[in-house]
Structure 1
Amino acid sequence: MAAAETKRGHRRHFVLVHGMCHGAWCWYKAVTALRRSGHRATALDMAGCGTHPARVDEVRSFEEYSRPLLDAMAALPPGERVVLIAHSHGGYSVALAVERFPDRVATAVFVAASEPAVGRPMAATSDELLAYVGPDFFLDSTELQQEDPNIKGKPFIFGPNFMAQTLYQLSPPEDLTLGLMLIKPANPLTTGNPDETVMRDAKLLTEERYGLVRRVFVEVEDDHGIPVEFQRRMVAQSPSIEVEEIAGADHMAMLSRPEELVELLSRIANN
């Protein structure tokens, strides 16, 4: 989108949420392109990710993990409505934010992201994805010891082979190198934890709030991280969601096809 068009009243505020083990840094190309086009773009680190000061063993719940996004939504000026962009595991944080602040969200966009459905626990989507891809899916990723026995689940970190073959297979090699330098261990907080109330609450996402906000799912055909067949399964569980597509991108669509993704996001926001 040209900057001249944004001056005619199409300037949007995009808030971008990263996936597991990543941080706000993975949006650096998209943020630059959005701002160059005249939009506002805010990429956030979830708790314990990127440059956020918390350690992984200090994040006790999914609510705490998502707190940076929830606080940012609460701090928006009266009347402002943002375009929320979720990537991968960030779909759960965005879904929670939409349910909590539906009047502050113009559109929620799920790009190669987990997209939970109304009336189902958010963790059900995670459980189903893990069952779909199977136990050997994560290749050389490593599960780490939990240093705080009061926190359920174990943190893990993606392995180099998993990132190269499954997440970044179409991305520039320098972005894979950057990712390997910057990823951090993360606790999914979505599986194997019956005490995780936010993720296990079947009544959390409601038709009256989450269901009424415009949602768009961006299918990524060559995504190996969330295979396209599973993407379509999630879409089928949310009949009211709109569907767009992006070609030639891997799981890290913001790195492998940044210009095409930003053009698509701008079009969605202004539709």
Structure 2
Amino acid sequence: METFPEKISAAVFLSGLMPGPALNATTLYTKAINALITQLDTRITYDNGPTNPPTTVIAGPKYLTTTIYQLSPIEDLALATTLVRPFYLYRAEDVSKEIVLSSKRYGSVRRVFIVAAENKALTKEFSELMIEKNPPDEVKEIEGSDHVTMMSKPQQLFTTLLSIANKYR
């Protein structure tokens, strides 16, 4: 969005972080990671030694069941548990260097934020914070959706994305 804003009709944020020129990506990333690493059976690794920050996080089956896929079909949860891989944790300094967003370029792209109503991984309060500090052009909500909306409410997601595409083309 920062590099080619003229090529984007609208950016859609769903179950993800929505940084902006006035809402630092490092702050959002740090809050999200700190919430994740304290959850249930989530495991963290310290590949650079125990005195250094954690390097990866691995979501455990309890966390996936109760927080990520709690409303998704059981088959999708079963598949997800077999596909779990370590998620690399970037250092805050690296995030702040890599993600620099300007009002002129990033801010010129129309944004739509979709709230997954039953998302326990990205709470409603956290979503509201992002919306308040970095207001999108439009906010939509998908009722009865967990963090993985494409699994828990695929038809509603399709309809929502189609309406966004038609509106912002």
Band the TM-score falls in, shorter-chain normalisation: 0.7 to 0.9
Matching residue of 1:143:
44
Matched, 1:121 2:24: yes
AA in 1 matched with 2:56: P
Offset at residue 117 of structure 1 (A): 2.0
Q: What amino acid does structure 1 have at the position aligned with 2:78? A: T
Residue of structure 2 aligned with 1:155, choices 43, 53, 56: 56
| Aligned length in residues | 165
Asked if structure 1 preserves the Cα contact closer than 8 Å seen for 2:30 and 2:92, the reply is: no
Instruction: Supply the AA of the counterpart residue of 2:13.
Output: F
Which residue number corresponds to residue 123 of structure 2? Answer: 227
Q: Secondary structure at the match of 2:15?
A: strand
The answer to whether the 8 A contact 1:120-1:202 is kept is no
The C-alpha deviation readout for 1:157-212, integer Å capped at 9, x for no partner, is 100000000000000000001101112111131xxx2541xx21498111111111
Match of 2:81 in 1: 180
Which whole-Å deviations, capped at 9, do the CAs of 1:70-107 have from their partners, x for residues lacking one?
A: xxxxxxxxxxxxxxxxxxxxxxxxxxxx1112122111
Q: Which amino acid in structure 2 is aligned with residue 225 of structure 1?
A: A
Contact 2:114–2:140 (Cα < 8 Å) also in 1: yes
Name the CA distance, whole Å, in 2 between partners of 1:178 and 1:194.
Answer: 32
Structure 2 residue aligned with 1:207, among 95, 98, 103? 103
Supply the AA of the counterpart residue of 2:5.
P
Quickly say closer, same or farther: Cα 1:233–1:120, change in 2 above 3 A. closer
Which stretch shifts more, 99-108 or 199-208?
199-208
Higher RCO structure (Cα 8 Å, ≥6 apart)? 2
* Letter in structure 2 aligned against 1:105: I
Aligned partners of 2:36 and 2:56: how far apart in 1?
19
Distance 1:239 1:194 in 2: 24
Structure 1: which 5+ residue stretches go unaligned?
A: 1-97
Provide closer, same or farther for how the CA distance between residues 167 and 234 of structure 1 changes in structure 2, counting only shifts above 3 A: same
Structure 1 pair 234/212, CA: closer, same or farther in 2 (3 Å)? same
Aligned pairs for 1:54-203 (under 5 A) are 98-130=1-33, 133=35, 136=38, 138-146=39-47, 153-189=54-90, 193-196=91-94, 199-201=95-97
Structure 1 residue 129: Cα displacement: 3.5
The aligned counterpart of 1:13 is none
TM-score when normalising by structure 1: 0.56
Task: Tell me: CA distance 1:134–1:164, structure 2 relative to 1, closer, same or farther (3 Å).
Answer: closer
Contact 2:22–2:133 (CA under 8 A) maintained in structure 1: no
- Measured in 1, the distance between the counterparts of 2:20 and 2:7 equals 20
In the superposition, relative to structure 1, how do residues 236 and 201 fare at CA in structure 2: closer, same or farther (>3 Å)?
Answer: farther
